[in-house]
Structures are given as structure tokens and as C-alpha cells.
């Protein structure tokens, strides 16, 4: 059976009895068994859950019931998103034995839509990283070249879709964690508008930046999954029921902004060639290309990491060895228990960010660092607002680098942080953005980054679907 299927292919196949949901689940689980020992996209394969869900779909087909949107579609879930009765580690040793007591809201929604959850995917510990090398359980490898990284923090989600181990995946993006691995693995990844999707039941890194979104092979499939998971949730006060604009694409009226700041020094010339080629294709199809300015982009990375580390230091305070964590010695002092549990259970990058974040929030430094970073965040948001007065979407590269070799950057955190240079401004401004395959350099994929105004995901989907046809 072919595992390179779309959501529409699966629906048609089930309705026409070309295969059953159980046969489909067996095929994809078999692909995981064959491929994943090399790729390591999955931390946990949920075989029993997948077969139970598939049997329920087959029963509905037998009873001639109307099939839900994602009926029978194999789906992976990033290991920061809770799936009831399934381990949820967030890529950390400190949560190695934690089993989710309930479903995240997004998990509940994909289950109700009939998706088959085939497993939980690998990630950088608590989402801290750009390569999935910071996972306590080992790195995920790029399906296009097993010597290279899949990107991060959600390398497992994108690699699982790229390797046809599932059809769609749920990722979560704090500063590029869906878009960067989607670019590196040659799949489609959407970071929705902040608040468009519930964060209830998602292990937090930086609460004002985190957003759950879809990973898929095509823009159409990403759109379907996004429409399943979006919407207000009473369990998440940051989620809202905004209208996702019913935007219709007229190619002759499409205004595309190209920020000169995204093509400055530091961008790999081979990537620039692919991205310029993609922009030329859109122009030849009738779109109007305009240069735009985002002058505060140069401060985005510094502001992002101060905010990210500050929020992370607060969110990770709960991992104290009392409710979850590494087992403590009998009779040890309370402070020793904290130090032992966090010392053993948390990795180097997580400790680094907790220390720096605590420092940035401490008395005497809050104004100098955290408060200034929030002011920069406002300026970045205003930059985008001004640009969107002139253009409908903004395009550029997702990453300045091609997928790099495993071990190449891990020893230099500052070099690793530079991978996020084009993705973090979007999270700081709370905007939606899409990574879509634009071409290749050798056998390595390159993603085109499309950014839209808040709650204008439809602009991204329509433009993305057009680009797929060019």
C-alpha cells in the first residue's frame, strides 16, 4: 500500500473500500518499524491506541455513518502535547516516567475528527533548541540525509511526515519549532496566529510565544488540520474565536513584500538563489513584488531569547522533584531534593536558559533586560503592521543555513541561536507563518517562509496552494 497519501486520498479509499482504517494503520506502523530505527522521529509508538481508533472508524464505515474530517488519517503528535494514558516527556529525562492523565484540547479535537494517533515525536528538551540534538533521548536524523539534523525543536514531527511514517503531524512553535524542521525536512508547516489554537494540555516553554500548529505534505492538508484544531477554548484564556478571513486569491492583485533585512549578510548564497527563484515564479504568475523594511529585525533575536529564557525559567520552576522528576534519596533535605532532581533531570541547554532567564528577571536587571525586550517586541509588531499596509504577505527564507551535520553546531549555543533569525520575529509579533518547500540545494530541501497579518491564515493557504502549482 502507498503511504504517500493525502487526507482526501484516505477518505476516498475508505469510502470506496479500497482499504480499511485498520489496514492503513498497520501499513503506517509497519513503515515506522522499518524506518524509524534510522531516523528516530518517534519517542513512543502508540500501536494499541492506533488500532483501537482504526477499529472505531471501520465500525462507522460498516454502519454507513458519515465520516469525520480526519477519519483514518495517521497522525503524529509532538511529545510536548498530552495524549491521555501515553507517556509525555517533552524530550526531557525529568519527565521520562510521566504519563499524561488527560488529553490536550488539540488532541481531543483530532480524536473527535477521527485521526489515528500513531505515536509521540522527538523534540529538543522542553522545546529548547533548533536541531532536536538537545533531546535527552538522542537526535532525530533528517530523512533526506541521515548525517544531518532534522531541525528543531520539533524535528520528530516534520521527519515523521517527510519519511511517510504518518500523513500529518501536530507540532508546536515557540520561535520556529514547526517552520524550521519543516524547511529542513521538505514538508509544509504552519505556525498559527497566537491565540488561534488552544494551548491547554501543552507543556509550556514560553507562554506568550508557544503555539500549536499542523505539519503536512501539502498546504491543503495543513489547512484541513488547522481548521480542526483552531478555535476558542474555555480552558485557555489566551485562545480567542477570531474570524479566519475568507480571503480569495486574485493573483493580479497579490502584493508580496520582500524584506531587505532577510537577505543581508549571513544568508547562504545557495539558499538565497532558491528563494529568489521562488519569488520570481510568483512574479511571473502575476503577483506584484515590493521591497519592504522591517528595521527592528536586527534586535529580534536578542529580544526573543531574553523573553524566551525569562518565561522558561518561570514555567520550569514546577519541575522540582516533588510531583514529577528524578527519584530522590530518602532522608535528604528539601533543598538537596530540588538540586538533585533538577541537576540530574535537566539538560545543559535547559539549565543555561533557566539561569539566564532568572538573572534577566531578578531585581536590578528586570528593567535593563526583560522590560527592554518587551519594548523591542512592540517595535517589531509595529514594523509588521506598517509593512502590511503596503503588502498582503511577506516572504523570505526560513533559515539562513541548510540542514547542518549532527554535532556541527551543538557546542556553540550562539551559532545555534542564529538558526532562528528569520522565524523568531513572527512569534514575537504573534503572526501566522507558513514554511513551504521551495526547492533544493543538492538533495537538501529549502523552505520558503510566508508571513501574513494576524488571523489571515487563509492568505497563507491560498498563496501556498498557488505556489505548489507553479
321 Ramachandran zone, left/alpha/beta (phi>0; psi -120 to 50): left
- Find the catalytic residue in 92, 131, 158, 177: 177
CATH of 1-470, one of 3.90.1300.10, 3.40.1790.10, 3.30.70.20, 3.40.50.10490: 3.90.1300.10
Is 76 among the catalytic positions? no
Lowest mean pLDDT among 164-168, 403-407, 410-414: 410-414
pLDDT at residue 389, rounded to an integer: 97
What is the band of 414 on the pLDDT scale with cuts at 50, 70, 90?
confident
Q: How many Cβ atoms are within 10 Å of 442's Cβ, its own excluded?
A: 8
Residue 328 pLDDT more than 70?
A: no
Q: Is 93 left (phi over 0), alpha (psi -120 to 50) or beta?
A: alpha
Specify the pairing of strand 168-173 against strand 211-216. antiparallel
Average pLDDT over residues 427-435: 98
DSSP codes, 414-450: HHHHGGGTTTHHHHHHT--EEEEEEEEETTEEEEEEE
Contact 28, 118 (CB under 8 A): yes
Over 60: is that where the pLDDT of 308 sits? yes
153 is annotated as an active-site residue: yes
- Is 78 among the residues known to form the active site? yes
Residues in the chain: 470
Secondary structure class of 259 (helix, strand, coil): strand
Catalytic residue of the set 35, 78, 111, 191: 78
pTM: 0.96
Q: Which of 1 and 12 is assigned the larger pLDDT?
A: 12
Q: How far apart are CA 54 and CA 48, in angstroms?
A: 10
The domain ranges of the chain are 1-470
Annotated catalytic residue within 153, 160, 182, 183? 153
CA 95/CA 88 separation, integer angstroms = 7
> What do you get for the CA distance between the two ends of the chain, in Å?
29
Amino acid at each position: 500500500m502507498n503511504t504517500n497519501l493525502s487526507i482526501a486520498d484516505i477518505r476516498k479509499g475508505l469510502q470506496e473500500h479500497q482499504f480499511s482504517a485498520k489496514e492503513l494503520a498497520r501499513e503506517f506502523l509497519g513503515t515506522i518499524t522499518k524506518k524509524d530505527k534510522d531516523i528516530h522521529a518517534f519517542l513512543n509508538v502508540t500501536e494499541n491506541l492506533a488500532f483501537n481508533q482504526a477499529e472505531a472508524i471501520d465500525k462507522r464505515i460498516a454502519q454507513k455513518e458519515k465520516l469525520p474530517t480526519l477519519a483514518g488519517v495517521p497522525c503524529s503528535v509532538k511529545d510536548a502535547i498530552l495524549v491521555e494514558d501515553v507517556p509525555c516527556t517533552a524530550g526531557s529525562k525529568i519527565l521520562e516516567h510521566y504519563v499524561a492523565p488527560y488529553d490536550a484540547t488539540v488532541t481531543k479535537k483530532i480524536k473527535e475528527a477521527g485521526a489515528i494517533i500513531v505515536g509521540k515525536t522527538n523534540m529538543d528538551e522542553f522545546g529548547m533548541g533548533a536541531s532536536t540534538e538537545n533531546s535527552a533521548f538522542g537526535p532525530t536524523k533528517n530523512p533526506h540525509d541521515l548525517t544531518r539534523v532534522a531541525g528543531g525543536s520539533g524535528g520528530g514531527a516534520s521527519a515523521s511526515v517527510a519519511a511517510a511514517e504518518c500523513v500529518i503531524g501536530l507540532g508546536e512553535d515557540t520561535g520556529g519549532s514547526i517552520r524550521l524542521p519543516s524547511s529542513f525536512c521538505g514538508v509544509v508547516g504552519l505556525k498559527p496566529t497566537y491565540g488561534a489554537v488552544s494551548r491547554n494540555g501543552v507543556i509550556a516553554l514560553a507562554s506568550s510565544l508557544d503555539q500549536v500548529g499542523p505539519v503536512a505534505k501539502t498546504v491543503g492538508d495543513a489547512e484541513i488540520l488547522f481548521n480542526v484544531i483552531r478555535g476558542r477554548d474555555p480552558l485557555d484564556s489566551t485562545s480567542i474565536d477570531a474570524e479566519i478571513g475568507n480571503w480569495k486569491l486574485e493573483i493580479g492583485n497579490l502584493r508580496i513584500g520582500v524584506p531587505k533585512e532577510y537577505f543581508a549578510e549571513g544568508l547562504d548564497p545557495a539558499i538565497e538563489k532558491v528563494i529568489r527563484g521562488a519569488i520570481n515564479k510568483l512574479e511571473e504568475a502575476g503577483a506584484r513584488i515590493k521591497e519592504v523594511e522591517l528595521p527592528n529585525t536586527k534586535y529580534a533575536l536578542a529580544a526573543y531569547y531574553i523573553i524566551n529564557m525569562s518565561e522558561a525559567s518561570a514555567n520550569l520552576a514546577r519541575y522540582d522533584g516533588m510531583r514529577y522528576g528524578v527519584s530522590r534519596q530518602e532522608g535528604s533535605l528539601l533543598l538537596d531534593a530540588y538540586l538533585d532532581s533538577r541537576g540530574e533531570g535537566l539538560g545543559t541547554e535547559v539549565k543555561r536558559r533557566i539561569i539566564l532567564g532568572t538573572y534577566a528577571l531578578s531585581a536590578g536587571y528586570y528593567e535593563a533586560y526583560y522590560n527592554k525586550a518587551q519594548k523591542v517586541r512592540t517595535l517589531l509588531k509595529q514594523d509588521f503592521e506598517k509593512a502590511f499596509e503596503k503588502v498582503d504577505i511577506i516572504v523570505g527564507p526560513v533559515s539562513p543555513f541548510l540542514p547542518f551535520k549532527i554535532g556541527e553546531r551543538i557546542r556553540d549555543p550562539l551559532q545555534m541561536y542564529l538558526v532562528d533569525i528569520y522565524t523568531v520575529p513572527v512569534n514575537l509579533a504573534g503572526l501566522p507563518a507558513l514554511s513551504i518547500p521551495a526547492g533544493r540545494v543538492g538533495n537538501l530541501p529549502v523552505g520558503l517562509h510566508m508571513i501574513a497579518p494576524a488571523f489571515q491564515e487563509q492568505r497563507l493557504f491560498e498563496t501556498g496552494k498557488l505556489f505548489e502549482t507553479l
